[in-house]
Amino acid sequence: MTSLTDTFHQWAAHSRERIGRTPLEPRLARIGRVLQVGDGVAMIAGLPDTRLDELLEIEGGAVAQAVDLAEGSIGCVLLDEADKAAAGSPVQGTGEVMRVPVGEALLGRVVDALGRPLDGGGAIAAQSLSPVDRPAPAIVDRALVDTPLSTGVLVIDATLPLGRGQRELIIGDRATGKTAIAVDTIIRQRASDVVCVYAAIGQKASSVARVIDAVRRYGAPERCIFVVGEADAAPGLQWITPYAACSMAEHFMEAGRDVLLVLDDLTKHAAVYREISLLLRRPPGREAYPGDIFYIHSRLLERAAKLSAERGGGSLTALPIAETQAGNLSAYIPTNLISITDGQIYLDPRLFQENQKPAVDVGRSVSRVGGKAQAAAVKPLAESLRLEYAQFLELEVFTRFGTLVDERTRRIIEHGRRIRAVFTQPQFAVLTVGEEVALLLALAERLLDEVPLERIGAFRERLRDWLAARQPDALELDDSSPALSSAGRARLREALAALAQAVAGESRSGGA
Ligand SMILES: Nc1ncnc2c1ncn2[C@@H]1O[C@H](COP(=O)(O)OP(=O)(O)OP(=O)(O)O)[C@@H](O)[C@H]1O
Ligand SMILES: [Mg+2]
């Protein structure tokens, strides 16, 4: 039997032999120096082999990304621990580009652009790491957008339908309900299998908290990821946030799932990028934005796609948000984004003030690819709606001057007012396809024309329970249901007519 000391001696001899065999050669490392640092950017010298987008480690823990390679110096954006970097600090290249954790472990979490938890939960056990900047799927790997993505907001699903894999811009002045539409769309996905990624860029902490709270309260937070680059985060971190969020979303798309990516908002992203670029002394272009601002946004949004069946058939739908100044759609960043995306939902501050919420201006909004993807049950009912509504808006202007109108015009106007009242929808009250079909059918069959305007809200509120008791299969309709059969339509019409009568009756008898 060997004693303990024998075992130890054996082990020591073995170790000595192993160490002897290991080649310990001198290692060559280039060490650069920070020339100057401040406001989230740094200039670095002495690392001529650095490649574009390479991560550099500054002694003390700060990490920077090389974004400008010039002879003699490198312009960097600080991503992390920016206050730990000081002029003169040694810097080393890493040979790596920026990567973020991706995978199931992120679902239900709030993280920053580097994938570090912000929700007080434990560290994220990522499946793998993915570069934040990746090329978009090639044309041959894409399929046509043909599957609807319901937003639960009637005016959008009826007149500006979205398809999975589409890029639709939500644009409007400040505080016109842009975030509210995106949040409602996320909440609506509680009844689907879509994974939602919400990227907050340069937002106030209180606004971000409101969004997360709403999704936790009404939505399916276990299928959402919140990627947050708040207004007080390092500019580099805010700048990288949409790319990181997109990589996290892409992981699910490549696994064959459907993903919704909300980018709130790209105007602030452009402003942060302008700030970084000016600090790095890049030549400013129009409105002082750097020349590649169009490129960086199109490169990001091109990553939204519907993949072909051979690539798993997943999709990434992007809802970027942009802010306008005084409704000016032809400013630089808004026109850029409008031309990159497949359509825009324009929110009008005037409508918002008139309490028409959501304040979607149907005339100035468009969805260029979603029409083909509209839910089959909704499509036949929504076809003429856009036209009827536009006609009404035009006529209504005249009646403002107290013009006497003929009977036919009066009826168009009364009907238009009903359409507008049905399109008015409170926040968080997202509709299922069944409810949307019922509301649109009630409009198409003119059942609401006898209901007083102020009772339309009550009609909507009572609809679900009413149908659950009388026409439960109407509520079962979803994105994949076929259009109503004529018998089904007649049955639903009957139930809706009874509800309209009940609601109108209540108002006559002075009830409610
Ligand atoms: N459909 C709605 N019904 C009632 N109130 C709404 C509706 N949509 C938005 N609001 C309210 O309008 C306000 C502004 O909404 P929101 O924050 O979504 O606008 P925003 O355009 O994202 O603003 P910001 O420019 O600050 O990001 C909020 O107080 C919100 O509760
Ligand atoms: Mg907002």
pLDDT in tens, 119-162: 998 898 888 999 999 999 999 999 999 999 999 999 999 999 99
Is residue 374 very low, low, confident or very high in pLDDT (cuts 50, 70, 90)?
Answer: very high
Dist. CA 416–CA 444, nearest whole Å = 11
Kindly tell me if the per-residue pLDDT of 397 is higher than 90.
no
Kindly tell me if the per-residue pLDDT of 508 is higher than 80.
no
With a 6 Å cutoff on the Cβ, whether 427 touches ligand 1 is: yes
- Given the residues 142, 364, 368, 462, the one annotated as active site: 368
Is 188 a known active-site residue?
A: no
- Percent of the chain at pLDDT > 90 equals 73
Long-range contacts of 338-342, Cβ-Cβ distance < 8 Å, separation of 24 or more: 338/169, 338/171, 340/167, 340/294, 340/297, 340/298, 340/301, 341/167, 341/168, 341/169, 341/301, 342/145, 342/166, 342/167, 342/168, 342/367, 342/368, 342/369, 342/370
> What's the pLDDT at 446?
92
Q: Atom 3, ligand 1: which residue's CA is nearest?
A: 426
Cα 104 to middle of ligand 2, angstroms: 27
Is residue 177 very low, low, confident or very high in pLDDT (cuts 50, 70, 90)?
Answer: very high
Kindly tell me if the per-residue pLDDT of 7 is higher than 80.
no
Kindly tell me if the per-residue pLDDT of 35 is higher than 60.
yes
Mean pLDDT of the chain: 91
- Could you give the residue range(s) of every CATH 3.40.50.300 domain in the chain? 100-372
- Ligand showing the shortest atom-to-Cα distance for residue 325: 1
Of residues 406 and 496, more confidence is placed in 496
> What's the pLDDT at 2?
56
Question: DSSP secondary structure string, 487-499?
Answer: HHHHHHHHHHHHH
Is residue 388 very low, low, confident or very high in pLDDT (cuts 50, 70, 90)?
Answer: confident
Q: Atom 20, ligand 1: which residue's CA is nearest?
A: 175
Kindly tell me if the per-residue pLDDT of 3 is higher than 80.
no
Structure tokens at 52: 């574009």
**What is the average pLDDT across 62-80?**
91
In this predicted model, what pLDDT tens digit does every residue of 313-342 receive, in sequence order? 999 999 999 999 999 999 999 999 999 999
**What is the average pLDDT across 191-211?**
96
**What is the average pLDDT across 435-442?**
95
Is residue 490 very low, low, confident or very high in pLDDT (cuts 50, 70, 90)?
Answer: very high
- Could you give the residue range(s) of every CATH 1.20.150.20 domain in the chain? 380-508
With a 6 Å cutoff on the Cβ, whether 409 touches ligand 1 is: no
Query: Is CATH 3.40.50.300 what the domain over 100-372 is classified as, yes or no?
Result: yes
Kindly tell me if the per-residue pLDDT of 194 is higher than 90.
yes
Kindly tell me if the per-residue pLDDT of 509 is higher than 50.
yes
Question: What burial letters (b/e) apply to 191-201, b meaning 16+ CB within 10 Å?
Answer: bbebbbbbbbb
Q: Where are the beta strands (DSSP E) in 192-239?
A: 195-203, 224-230
Cα 460 to middle of ligand 2, angstroms: 27
Is residue 4 very low, low, confident or very high in pLDDT (cuts 50, 70, 90)?
Answer: low
Kindly tell me if the per-residue pLDDT of 511 is higher than 60.
no
In this predicted model, what pLDDT tens digit does every residue of 447-476 receive, in sequence order? 998 899 999 999 999 999 999 999 898 889
> Distance between the two ends of the chain, CA-based, in angstroms?
95
Kindly tell me if the per-residue pLDDT of 505 is higher than 90.
no
Cα 179 to middle of ligand 2, angstroms: 4
With a 6 Å cutoff on the Cβ, whether 358 touches ligand 1 is: yes
pTM of the predicted model, to two decimals?
0.91
The CATH number that domain 380-508 falls under is 1.20.150.20
Is residue 405 very low, low, confident or very high in pLDDT (cuts 50, 70, 90)?
Answer: confident
Of residues 406 and 51, more confidence is placed in 51
> Cα dihedral sign for 17, 23, 25, 28?
negative
Contact 326, 270 (CB under 8 A): no
- Could you give the residue range(s) of every CATH 2.40.30.20 domain in the chain? 31-97
Q: Atom 8, ligand 1: which residue's CA is nearest?
A: 177
Mutate-to-test residue for ligand 1 from 151, 155, 171, 179, highest number of ligand atoms within 8 A of CB = 179
> What's the pLDDT at 512?
44
**What is the average pLDDT across 24-53?**
88
**What is the average pLDDT across 269-279?**
95
**What is the average pLDDT across 179-187?**
97
In this predicted model, what pLDDT tens digit does every residue of 81-93 receive, in sequence order? 667 788 999 999 9
The class that CATH gives domain 31-97 is mainly beta
**What is the average pLDDT across 64-93?**
88
Q: Quick one: which atom of ligand 1 is closest to the CA of 175?
A: 23
